[in-house]
Amino acid sequence: MADVRLRPLSSLPVTQLPWLRLQDHFIATVGPSAGKGRALGSLLVLADATFAPRSRFPLHPHREMEILSIVLSGELSHHGDQSPGATLRPREAQLISARDGMLHAEGNETDEDTRMLQLRFAPTQHGGAPAYFRRSVPHAARSGRHLVAGDEAMPLRSDARVWWLDLTVGQETALKVAPGRAGYLLSLDAALQLGQGRVLARGEGAQLHRGCMTLSASQDCSALWIDVAA
């Protein structure tokens, strides 16, 4: 039997600043709840962030952390002390392997809101110079699974994989976890129907610790699926 634990919007901590709104699914290492949140395997942070126009984080350090940023709408600008600047647009992702340490800043340099996801993973390998990778999720096929990080995609230094899921109206897809692993599903832009009549609204999540769950879509939509060692 599947072990599915829903994470409704009402259960997620929210940080609201004049220039930034953060909805945290996992907050094991950062923010006002640092040290109080729970991780999911090596997944320490999963934040759904919206930057106001012309806003950004100041330059700040990271060390021994795998940092995956995915843009959902708008543009995200990145500047680092050991990398060239980059601008990410919707369905584009950047992986920073901080390793021995780096400084960076990120934000929104446009006149429209920017919504992005940031995931942080504890590394299973340590040391070395920081590394930067970039990948786009294909637009060509509206339905399908697209591996964003892990395995043959961007080389995540963690026992984890991240997929972007696209579903069309009426489509069903099954997600399952192997023994010793766990999964997390995040609805990105529209409601998803889970098995047994449950609905996952935009921005809500569901943990899967055992078995399989089936998704179906009443409209074209996207989701993120994360698989980690439990």
Q: Residue 162's domain is classified under what CATH number? A: 2.60.120.10
| Nearest in space to 39 (alpha carbons), one of 47, 29, 49 | 29
Interval 200-227 mean pLDDT: 94
Question: What is residue 31's predicted lDDT score, i.e. its pLDDT?
Answer: 56
In this structure, is residue 28 part of a structural domain?
yes
Q: Rounded mean pLDDT of the chain? A: 92
129 and 154: one domain? no
Question: What is residue 195's predicted lDDT score, i.e. its pLDDT?
Answer: 81
Angle at 47 between CA 185 and CA 112, to 5 degrees: 110
Q: Is the pLDDT of residue 36 over 70?
A: no
Split at pLDDT 50, 70, 90, the class of 38 is confident
Question: What is residue 177's predicted lDDT score, i.e. its pLDDT?
Answer: 95
137-150 confidence digits (pLDDT tens)? 987 666 789 999 99
In this structure, is residue 33 part of a structural domain?
yes
In this structure, is residue 125 part of a structural domain?
yes
In this structure, is residue 168 part of a structural domain?
yes
- Residue 133, token pair as written in the block: 């990778």
What gap in Å lies between CA 113 and CA 54, rounded to an integer?
Answer: 9
Q: Is the pLDDT of residue 156 over 90?
A: yes
Higher pLDDT, residue 83 or 63: 63
169 and 128: one domain? no
Question: What is residue 33's predicted lDDT score, i.e. its pLDDT?
Answer: 52
Question: What is residue 27's predicted lDDT score, i.e. its pLDDT?
Answer: 83
158-190 confidence digits (pLDDT tens)? 999 999 999 999 899 999 999 999 999 999 999
86 and 156: one domain? no
132 and 169: one domain? no
Domain boundary among 120, 136, 152: 136
Domain boundary among 88, 105, 136: 136
DSSP state of 154: B
Split at pLDDT 50, 70, 90, the class of 34 is low
Contact call for residues 208 and 175 (beta carbons, < 8 A):
yes
Question: What is residue 80's predicted lDDT score, i.e. its pLDDT?
Answer: 85
At 11, is the secondary structure helix, strand, or coil? Answer: helix
87 and 164: one domain? no
Instruction: Tally the domains of the chain.
Output: 2
71 and 115: one domain? yes
Question: What is residue 225's predicted lDDT score, i.e. its pLDDT?
Answer: 98
27 and 125: one domain? yes
What gap in Å lies between CA 60 and CA 7, rounded to an integer?
Answer: 30
32 and 62: one domain? yes
Question: What is residue 37's predicted lDDT score, i.e. its pLDDT?
Answer: 65
- CA dist 96 → 20, 73, 154, 176 (Å): 21, 20, 10, 28
16 and 106: one domain? yes
- CA dist 230 → 181, 183, 210 (Å): 4, 9, 10
In this structure, is residue 103 part of a structural domain?
yes
Q: Produce one character per residue of 186-214: b if its CB has 16 or more CB atoms within 10 Å, e if not.
A: bbbebebebeeeeebeebbbbbbebeebe
What range defines the domain where residue 210 resides? 144-229
Domain boundary among 80, 109, 136: 136
In this structure, is residue 7 part of a structural domain?
no
157 and 112: one domain? no
| Nearest in space to 226 (alpha carbons), one of 62, 41, 21, 6 | 41
Interval 32-57 mean pLDDT: 86
Q: Is the pLDDT of residue 200 over 60?
A: yes
In this structure, is residue 5 part of a structural domain?
no
148 and 131: one domain? no
Question: What is residue 138's predicted lDDT score, i.e. its pLDDT?
Answer: 87
- 2-6, 55-59, 120-124, 196-200: least confident range: 196-200
114 and 32: one domain? yes
What gap in Å lies between CA 128 and CA 115, rounded to an integer?
Answer: 31
pTM of the predicted structure, to 2 decimals: 0.94
In this structure, is residue 1 part of a structural domain?
no
88-132 confidence digits (pLDDT tens)? 999 999 999 999 999 999 999 999 999 999 999 999 999 999 999
Neighbours of 146 (CB within 10 A): 18
Split at pLDDT 50, 70, 90, the class of 55 is very high
